[in-house]
Amino acid sequence: MSANEELTGAEIVVRCLQEENVEHVFGYPGGAVLYIYDALFNQDRVKHILVRHEQGAVHAADAYSRSSDRIGVCLVTSGPGVTNAVTGIATAYLDSIPMVILTGQVPTHAIGLDAFQECDTVGITRPIVKHNFLVKDVRELAATIRKAFYIARTGRPGPVLVDIPKDVTAKKAVFQYPAEVPMRSYNPVLKGHTGQIKKAVQMILSARRPMIYTGGGVILSDSSRELNELVDMLGFPCTNTLMGLGAYKASDRKFVGMPGMHGTYEANLAMQNCDVLVAIGARFDDRVIGNPADFAKHQRQIIHIDIDPSSISKRVKVDVPIVGDVKEVMIEVIRQIRATDVRPDPRALADWWKQIEEWRSRDCLKYDRSSEKIKPQYVVEKLWEATGGDAFITSDVGQHQMWAAQFYRFDKPRRWINSGGLGTMGVGLPYAMGVQMAHPQATVACITGEASIQMCLQELSTCKQYRLPVKVLNLNNGYLGMVRQWQQIEYGSRYSESYIEALPDFVKLAESYGHIGMQITRPADVEGAIREALSRKDRTVFMDFLTDPAENVWPMVQAGKGLTQMLLGSEEL
Amino acid sequence: MRHIISILLENEAGALSRVAGLFSARGYNIETLTVAPTEDASLSRMTIVTVGSDDVIEQITKHLNRLIEVVKVVDLSEGSHIERELMLVKVRATGKEREEMKRMAEIFRGRVIDVTDKTYTIELTGDVAKLDAFIEAIDRALILETVRTGVSGIGRGERVLKV
C-alpha cells in the first residue's frame, strides 16, 4: 500500500486496532457499525468474538484486560447497543480497568434529530468513562483512537469510549497512525516525591505495629513482585483488598486475609490497631474501612501511595501522601530501605505478630464441616485444591463472591476477576469468556450463584460458538443469598423478594447449549464432580451445586459499623 | 467557605458539560460559572465560584485536574486576586424616579446604556458585594429585569494562569 493511499473510516478503525496489536474484539453488529464489520470481514488479524448481548461484550473485554497485560476492546452499535453496554462500562470504570469501547453512531447529519437507534452516547457515558470522544471528521479518527488507547492504559487506567458516526466510517482519509499523541492537558505523575518517600521510609522503619494494606492499584500497575519483595524484607503483616487479592501470596503466613466487611478478624483488628498503616494502591473504600469516624478514632499514622491524587485524603486523612505509580514508588522505597541498616524493632514486631496470631487463632473462617448439606465454602476449597490454587477464577456478586475471595487462596495477581466497585451481578460468565480468550490454555472457573448466572446466561451460547471450556460452579442456594443474609440480620428475617422461585433445570439448560451439565447434591460428591469437570478440558461444564440455603458469610461488619464490631457467626445474632 | 476556582481547559465541544457534570455527580455546589475562549482560541478559561469546606475544595480541584481536557486549575482565593461581575439592570424610570435612578447609577459607577421614555438599562461592573449593594440601594419595585454574568477572576500582580 502506498503511503498516501486513502482508506475508509471503517478501514482506518481496523488498521488502528492492528497497529495496537489488538487480537480480539468483543462485539455485536448493528446498523451504525456495518462498515466497520465489513472492514473486519476483509482481514484476519483482528478476530471478532460475537457475544449474545452487548453487556457480555463489555464484561468479556473488561476481563480480558483484568487477566492479562493487554487491553480489552469492544465494538457495539448505536442506541440500544450503547445502552446495553453501559453497565459493563460502569463496571470497568469503578475498578479502573483499561478498555477501549468503539461505538457506532447515527450519521453526523442525523445527530440530534432523534434518528433511529440514536442516543447521546457521549452524554450517557460521560460519568462512567475515563474519557470519551465523538469523532466527526474521518481525518481525526486515527489520532483519536490512538489517544483512546493511550489514555486508557496510562495514569489511573480506565475505559475510554470512541463514538463514530456511520458516515465517518464511509468517508476516506489518508491513514497515518501517530507514534505519539502529545496532550498538554494530560500528563500523569509517575514518580513519587523523593522527600515524601524518605519520610515514609523513616515511618516504616520506626513502626512497632505495622500493617501493609494494598488494593487493586498493585495489580493494575503489575507491581506484585515489588510488593512481595517489600513485605518479605520487612516481615510485616499484609492484607489485600477484594480488588487486590493475589498481589501478595496468600499462602504466606504474613498474609492475614482480606480486610473489610467480610474480611478476616485478624486483618480488621490489625487495620485498627496498627501504629503505621501503609496503604498502597488502595482507596479506603467504605466496604474496607467500615464507619470512617470509627476508623479515624484509632490512632495510627497513615502512608498512602496512589497514582490518583483524588483518592488521597478522600475518605480518610493521611499523614504521608505519595502521588505516583505504585510500582515506581515501591521500587524507590525498597531501594531506600536497602540503603540503610536501620530496621524496625524486632522485639516490637515479634510482639505484634504474637498479637496477630492470637487474633488469627479465632479461626474466623471456620464453618460446619460435618453438615449433610453442601457448604459453599467447601466447594470453593475443593476447587482450590483440585486446581492447585493456580486457576483463573471469576465470580459474580453476592455471597458466593465473598466465599470465593475468602477460600480460594490466590498466590498470583490477575487470577481473581470480579466486580468490586460497582458490584455487578452477571459479570461472572462473560468474565470467564474474556479470561479464556486471553489465556486459551488456562483453567478458568466461574464461581456464581443461581441468581447472578441468570443475568448474562445467554453467553452460554457464545461459549459454545467459540468452544470456550470454562467451568461454571453454580452455588445454588435458591436465594439472593447476600440480600437474604442482610434481611435476616437487619430486617427481622423478612425475606422480601429474595427467594428465587421457578429456577430452570440447569443441567438440561447446559445440555441444550451443547455443554455438560451436572447437578451435585451431596458433600461427598463435590470433589469428584469438580475433578471430573476439570478433566473435560475441551468442554464448557456447568456444575449446579445445591448448597445449604441458610449459610451466611462470616465475619460480617454491618454497614455503618466500625471494623472491630464484627459478627463472627450465627450464634452472635 | 467561598472559593473562586480558575480553570484553563481545551476549547472543545463537551468540555463544559464534563466540568458541570463533575459538580452535579459529586454533589458539589456551583454558585456561578463563566466560560469563554482565551486569546489562544484552543483554550477556554472558566471561573467557578463554589462553596465548601477545605476538604471539599481540595477534592474539587483534584477532580477537576483529573478531567482529561483540563490543563490547569488554580484556586484564586488562595492568594490575592480581583473578581468582577457584569450586571445589566432594566428599571422603570419615570417622573422623579428618572433623575434619581441616573444619580444612583453614577454613584455606583454604572452607565445607562439603553433609554426609553419609561426605562433605563444600567450596566454595572464590580464584585458581587457591589452589585448586590446596588440592588439593595434602588427601589425594588422599579426593577424590571436583571441579568448577571457570574464572576470572572484573575490573580493580582505577577500571579498568572497560563499554559
Active-site annotation holds for A199: no
Instruction: Name every chain A residue with its beta carbon within 8 A of the beta carbon of B9.
Output: 185
Cβ-contact A327, A224 below 8 angstroms? no
Cβ-based interface (< 8 Å): residues of A facing B: 122-123, 126-127, 130-131, 134, 151, 183-186, 308-310, 313-314
Candidates A11, A20, A54, A328; catalytic one:
A54
Residue among A111, A108, A89, A219 at smallest CA distance from A167: A108
User: Rounded to an integer, what distance in angstroms lies between the CA atom of residue A67 and that of residue A438?
Assistant: 7
Candidates A18, A117, A196, A458; catalytic one:
A117
A126 vs B17, B62, B66: nearest CB: B17
Strand partners, A79: none
SS3 A252: coil
Q: Angle at which helices A346-360 and A265-273 pack, to 10 degrees? A: 140
How near does any CA of chain B get to the CA of A58, in Å? 22
Q: What is the DSSP letter of A314?
A: S
User: Rounded to an integer, what distance in angstroms lies between the CA atom of residue A277 and that of residue A518?
Assistant: 46
Cβ-contact A169, A1 below 8 angstroms? no
Residue among A399, A415, A405 at smallest CA distance from A448: A399
Structure confidence at residue A349 (pLDDT): 98
Best mutation target among A96, A122, A310 (most B Cβ atoms within 10 Å) is A310
Q: Which set of grid coordinates corresponds to residue A241?
A: 483488598
Structure confidence at residue A570 (pLDDT): 85
Structure confidence at residue A427 (pLDDT): 98
Structure confidence at residue A180 (pLDDT): 92
Partner A contacted by B23 (CB < 8 A):
no
- For B163, name the nearest residue in chain A, comparing CA atoms only: A184
Instruction: Name every chain A residue with its beta carbon within 8 A of the beta carbon of B27.
Output: none
How near does any CA of chain A get to the CA of B64, in Å? 9
pTM over 0.90: yes
pLDDT tens for chain A, 573 residues: list them. 556 789 999 999 999 999 999 999 999 999 999 999 999 999 999 999 999 999 999 999 999 999 999 999 999 999 999 999 999 999 999 999 999 999 999 999 999 999 999 999 999 999 999 999 999 999 999 999 999 999 999 999 999 999 999 999 999 999 999 999 989 999 998 899 999 999 999 999 999 999 999 999 999 999 999 999 999 999 999 999 999 999 999 999 999 999 999 999 999 999 999 999 999 999 999 999 999 999 999 999 999 999 999 999 888 999 999 999 999 999 999 999 999 999 999 999 999 999 999 999 999 999 999 999 999 999 999 999 999 999 999 999 999 999 999 999 999 999 999 999 999 999 999 999 999 999 999 999 999 999 999 999 999 999 999 999 999 999 999 999 999 999 999 999 999 999 988 999 999 999 999 999 999 999 999 999 999 999 999 999 999 999 999 999 999 999 899 998 999 998 887
Structure confidence at residue A263 (pLDDT): 97
Q: Angle at which helices B95-107 and B128-137 pack, to 10 degrees? A: 160
What does the longest C-alpha to C-alpha distance in chain B come to? Answer: 57
φ, ψ dihedrals at B27, nearest 5°: 75, 25
Q: Which long-range contacts (CB under 8 A, 24 or more apart) does A362-369 make?
A: A362/A265, A362/A266, A362/A568, A364/A264, A364/A265, A364/A266, A364/A554, A364/A555, A364/A566, A364/A568, A365/A257, A365/A264, A365/A406, A365/A407, A365/A554, A367/A551, A367/A554
Task: Tally DSSP H helices, then E strands, for chain A.
Answer: 22, 21
Q: What is the DSSP letter of A138?
A: G
SS3 B124: strand
Partner A contacted by B26 (CB < 8 A):
no
- With 0-12 CB in 10 A as exposed, 13-18 as middle and 19+ as buried, what is A265? buried
How near does any CA of chain A get to the CA of B152, in Å? 22
What length is written for chain B?
A: 163
Instruction: Name every chain B residue with its beta carbon within 8 A of the beta carbon of A184.
Output: 71, 163
Cβ-contact A340, A197 below 8 angstroms? no
Strand partners, B7: B46, B73
User: Rounded to an integer, what distance in angstroms lies between the CA atom of residue A88 and that of residue A102?
Assistant: 13
- The label of the residue with cell 469563554 reads B36
User: Rounded to an integer, what distance in angstroms lies between the CA atom of residue A259 and that of residue A289?
Assistant: 8
Candidates A41, A43, A47, A116; catalytic one:
A116
Q: Which set of grid coordinates corresponds to residue A293?
A: 469516624
How near does any CA of chain B get to the CA of A134, in Å? 9
Partner A contacted by B41 (CB < 8 A):
no
DSSP element (H, E) containing A402: helix A399-407
Active-site annotation holds for A490: no
Structure confidence at residue A1 (pLDDT): 53
A185 vs B14, B55, B70: nearest CB: B70
Active-site annotation holds for A402: no
Structure confidence at residue A5 (pLDDT): 84
φ, ψ dihedrals at B131, nearest 5°: -65, -40
Q: What is the 3-state secondary structure (H, E, C) of A508-554?
A: HHHHHCCCEEEEECCHHHHHHHHHHHHHCCCCCEEEEEEECCCCCCC
Task: Say how many CB pairs under 8 Å bridge A and B.
Answer: 35
Candidates A166, A171, A327, A382; catalytic one:
A166
Mark the ranges of chain B whose per-residue pLDDT is less than 70: none
Active-site annotation holds for A437: no
> Cβ–Cβ of A313/B58 closer than 8 Å?
yes
Q: Is the ipTM of this complex over 0.90?
A: yes
Q: Which set of grid coordinates corresponds to residue B53?
A: 469546606
DSSP element (H, E) containing A343: none
Q: What is the DSSP letter of B117?
A: S
- The label of the residue with cell 447446559 reads A510
Cβ-contact A130, A149 below 8 angstroms? no
CB within 8 Å of A540: residues ≥ 6 apart? A460, A463, A464, A468, A469, A470, A471, A472, A510, A513, A515, A516
User: Rounded to an integer, what distance in angstroms lies between the CA atom of residue A247 and that of residue A410?
Assistant: 8
How near does any CA of chain A get to the CA of B44, in Å? 12
Best mutation target among B10, B12, B64, B66 (most A Cβ atoms within 10 Å) is B66
Partner A contacted by B88 (CB < 8 A):
no
B21 vs A126, A183, A186: nearest CB: A126
User: Rounded to an integer, what distance in angstroms lies between the CA atom of residue A37 and that of residue A58?
Assistant: 17
User: Rounded to an integer, what distance in angstroms lies between the CA atom of residue A148 and that of residue A178?
Assistant: 12
Q: Which set of grid coordinates corresponds to residue A1?
A: 500500500
CB within 8 Å of A214: residues ≥ 6 apart? A227, A238, A239, A240, A241, A244, A247, A248, A279, A280, A281, A282
**What does each C-alpha distance from A74 to A13, A53, A426, A440, A459 come to in angstroms?**
12, 12, 17, 19, 15
A185 vs B25, B55, B69: nearest CB: B69
